[in-house]
């Protein structure tokens, strides 16, 4: 239950809101918003955006926690979807495998579940970014199939379109369609933090780093306490790298590494950014972590995460990893 109050003093307004678990009475979220009466419409828009952006991840967390205690044999499609989300949020190989299994089960129970198709495709993006792919051609084809099906089923579903667009842009390599589907998701739900973040990745891939940074920053404003904030830091690092701002890229990449040191892509970003920023010691440290995570990684296959679209960016990326010490 979302409840709140409005108080007025002279020409100032204070709007308070809180999210309550209706069954237990537990507080899930609370915040307050201050503004002038003269700016009431702007204040209403701010409150809407911040409330929707803030409570969405809290609702997900609460629903995921609720479903943990439900017997496996009584799970419906939505329950499986939530368990898939829980696995995806772990950012581990085991969690990723769990996520795929639950998303596929949700699709089996409801073949028209657009968001389950989109999140399954998104799970393959995570596998690729983390170096967990075992059958590259098959997984690429499956991610493409799932993403296309999500779009077909979910033409008015922002989550389905955003996740499918992200998979197409960042894994399949279809950046134009992927970007367009993410844009449609933003039209449908401008308060979906995920969509702003995915748009940031896509815009960087297309070379528009400054627009990417604006969109990633908006995602973080909408969901300031998001448990996946390291992904936004990584996206910021990538955008700054594309823009040639290597010190800023390194700072963001290091923040992401501090949060999730065992993720391949954040260590790639840290190594490449440090090398280009003229910090060889930091580049070596990042490369050591990277080589422990994936000893088979080479310059030749470091572009398998389809982050790089323009040839000049790809040349700079591979040169940076080479400077950082990644073998050919």
The region of weakest confidence among 9-18, 61-70, 186-195, 307-316 is 61-70
> What is the assigned CATH class of domain 193-328?
mainly alpha
pTM of the model: 0.84
Q: Do domains 70-190 and 193-328 have the same CATH topology?
A: yes
pLDDT(179) > 90 = yes
pLDDT at 70: 62
% of the chain with per-residue pLDDT over 90 = 62
Mean model confidence pLDDT for the chain: 89
The region of weakest confidence among 38-42, 193-197, 238-242, 305-309 is 305-309
What Rg value do the Cα atoms of the chain yield, rounded?
21
Question: Which residue, 302, 305, 310, 245, is CA-closest to 273?
Answer: 245
Which residue ranges make up each domain of the chain?
1-58, 70-190, 193-328
Dihedral pair phi/psi, residue 7, rounded to 5°: -125, 145
Each residue of 181-220: pLDDT tens digit? 999 999 999 989 999 999 999 999 999 999 999 999 999 9
Residue 93's Cα: distance from chain center in Å? 17
% of the chain with per-residue pLDDT over 70 = 92
pLDDT at 51: 75
Residue 102's Cα: distance from chain center in Å? 19
pLDDT at 68: 65
Q: Would you call 41 exposed, middle or buried from its count of C-beta atoms within 10 A (0-12, 13-18, 19+)?
A: exposed
pLDDT(69) > 90 = no
pLDDT at 71: 59
pLDDT(170) > 70 = yes
pLDDT at 138: 95
The region of weakest confidence among 34-38, 104-108, 126-130, 148-152 is 34-38
Over range 106-127, report the average pLDDT.
Answer: 96
For the domain covering 70-190, report its CATH number: 1.25.40.10
Q: pLDDT-based confidence at 1, cuts 50/70/90?
A: confident
Find all residues with CB under 8 Å of 20, minimum gap 6, and list them: 1, 2, 3, 26, 27, 28
Beta strands in the chain (DSSP E): 2-9, 12-20, 27-36
Each residue of 71-105: pLDDT tens digit? 555 579 998 999 999 999 999 999 999 999 999 99
How far, in Å, are 79, 100, 123 from residue 84 at the CA level? 9, 7, 9
């Amino acid at each position: 239950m979302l409840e709140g109050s409005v108080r007025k003093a002279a020409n100032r307004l204070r709007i308070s809101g809180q999210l309550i678990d209706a069954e237990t009475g537990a507080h899930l979220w609370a915040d307050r918003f201050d503004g002038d009466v003269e700016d009431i419409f702007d204040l209403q828009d701010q409150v809407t955006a911040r409330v929707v952006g803030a409570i969405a991840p809290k609702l997900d967390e609460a629903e995921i926690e609720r479903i943990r205690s439900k017997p496996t044999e009584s799970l419906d499609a939505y329950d499986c979807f939530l368990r898939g989300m829980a696995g995806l949020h772990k950012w581990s190989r085991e969690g990723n495998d769990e996520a795929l299994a639950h998303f596929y089960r949700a699709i089996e129970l409801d073949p028209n579940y657009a968001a389950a198709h989109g999140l399954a495709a998104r799970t393959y993006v995570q596998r690729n970014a983390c170096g967990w792919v075992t059958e590259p051609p098959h997984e690429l084809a499956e991610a493409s199939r799932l993403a296309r099906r999500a779009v077909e089923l979910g033409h008015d579903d922002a989550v389905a379109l955003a996740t499918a667009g992200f998979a197409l842009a960042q894994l399949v390599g279809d950046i134009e369609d992927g970007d367009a589907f993410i844009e449609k998701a933003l039209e449908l739900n401008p308060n979906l933090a995920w969509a702003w973040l995915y748009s940031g990745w896509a815009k960087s891939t297309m070379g528009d780093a400054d627009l990417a940074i604006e969109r990633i920053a908006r995602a973080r404003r909408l969901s300031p306490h998001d448990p996946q904030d390291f992904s936004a830091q990584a996206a910021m690092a990538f955008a700054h790298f594309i823009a040639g701002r290597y010190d800023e890229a390194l700072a963001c990449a290091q923040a992401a590494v501090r949060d999730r040191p065992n993720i391949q892509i954040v260590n790639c970003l840290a190594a490449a950014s440090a090398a280009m920023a003229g910090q060889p010691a930091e580049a070596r440290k990042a490369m050591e972590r990277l080589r422990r995570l994936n000893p088979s990684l080479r310059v030749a296959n470091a572009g398998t995460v389809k982050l790089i679209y323009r040839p000049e960016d790809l040349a700079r990326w591979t040169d940076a990893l080479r400077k950082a010490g990644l073998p050919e």
